[in-house]
Amino acid sequence: MLTFLEDKINTPLGELCILCDTQFTLRAVEWEEHRWRLEKLLDIHYGKMGITRGFSHNPGGLSDAFHAYFAGDLDAVTHLPTATMGTPFQRDVWQALRTIPCGQVLHYGQLAQQIGRPTAARAVGAANGANPLSIVVPCHRVIGRDGSMTGYAGGVARKAWLLRHEGFLNEE
């Protein structure tokens, strides 16, 4: 059985849930209003092995790292330790997402090419949407081929805010 520690922080975009293990390795990050996604993800990935959860203020300094990110230290979350469940393909996509530099974007086809699966743009999109580590695994840095703000599990408005915050989009 795994033990997870959870904290909730206020951000400019709403309340954010941060979940880590007892070694302070991030397991999930989700917006409070989408908590159902977090619960579903935990059940899918950890239901068979079982988990216990408890509240922890700023576990391992993770909450402070998110506060720093939102305050303008964009590298504060870049190297946080993560562990994810998921298929090998999903984990390949999530690992590739972490290589997209802050302030830059790729489209789904480019990300598919980067992982050596040039015809898998749709599958990359699905894996992107299943990302359990919002912001740290920067799925918001993937946009449509035409530059459109395609789906983001936290909402397209949040995606645009994050891209503006990171310097990709100009203030409107």
What was the pLDDT predicted at 147? 86
Q: How buried is 30 (Cβ within 10 angstroms: 0-12 exposed, 13-18 middle, 19+ buried)?
A: buried
pTM for the whole structure: 0.93
What was the pLDDT predicted at 41? 86
State the DSSP string of 53-71.
Answer: EEE-SSGGGHHHHHHHHHT
Q: Is residue 108 part of a domain?
A: yes
Mean pLDDT, rounded, for 45-57: 88
Q: How many CB atoms lie within 10 A of CB 35?
A: 13
Res. 44: pLDDT tops 60: yes
What was the pLDDT predicted at 27? 96
Res. 172: pLDDT tops 50: no
> Does residue 111 sit in the same domain as residue 63?
no
Q: Is residue 12 part of a domain?
A: yes
Task: Give kind and range of the element (H or E) at residue 1.
Answer: none
> Does residue 112 sit in the same domain as residue 142?
yes
Confirm whether 139 is a catalytic residue.
Answer: yes
The string of pLDDT tens digits covering residues 59-110 is 999 999 999 999 999 999 999 999 988 899 999 999 999 999 999 999 999 9
Q: Is residue 112 part of a domain?
A: yes
Q: Which of 119, 51, 53, 115 shows the shortest CA–CA distance to 87?
A: 115
> Does residue 107 sit in the same domain as residue 150?
yes
Q: Which of 149, 145, 114, 142 shows the shortest CA–CA distance to 126?
A: 142
Q: Is residue 51 part of a domain?
A: yes
Mean pLDDT, rounded, for 143-166: 90
> Does residue 17 sit in the same domain as residue 63?
yes
Q: Is residue 79 part of a domain?
A: no
CATH number where 33 lies: 3.30.160
Q: Is residue 149 part of a domain?
A: yes
Residue-number span of the structural domain to which 111 is assigned: 88-165
> Does residue 22 sit in the same domain as residue 63?
yes
Q: How many domains does the chain have?
A: 2
Work out the mean pLDDT of the chain and round it to a whole number. 93
Structure tokens, 88? 């090998």
What was the pLDDT predicted at 45? 84
Q: Is residue 78 part of a domain?
A: no
The string of pLDDT tens digits covering residues 122-153 is 999 999 989 999 999 999 999 988 888 887 88
Mean pLDDT, rounded, for 4-30: 97
Marked catalytic residue, from 17, 20, 102, 139: 139
CATH number where 106 lies: 1.10.10.10
* pLDDT band per the 50, 70, 90 thresholds, residue 154: confident
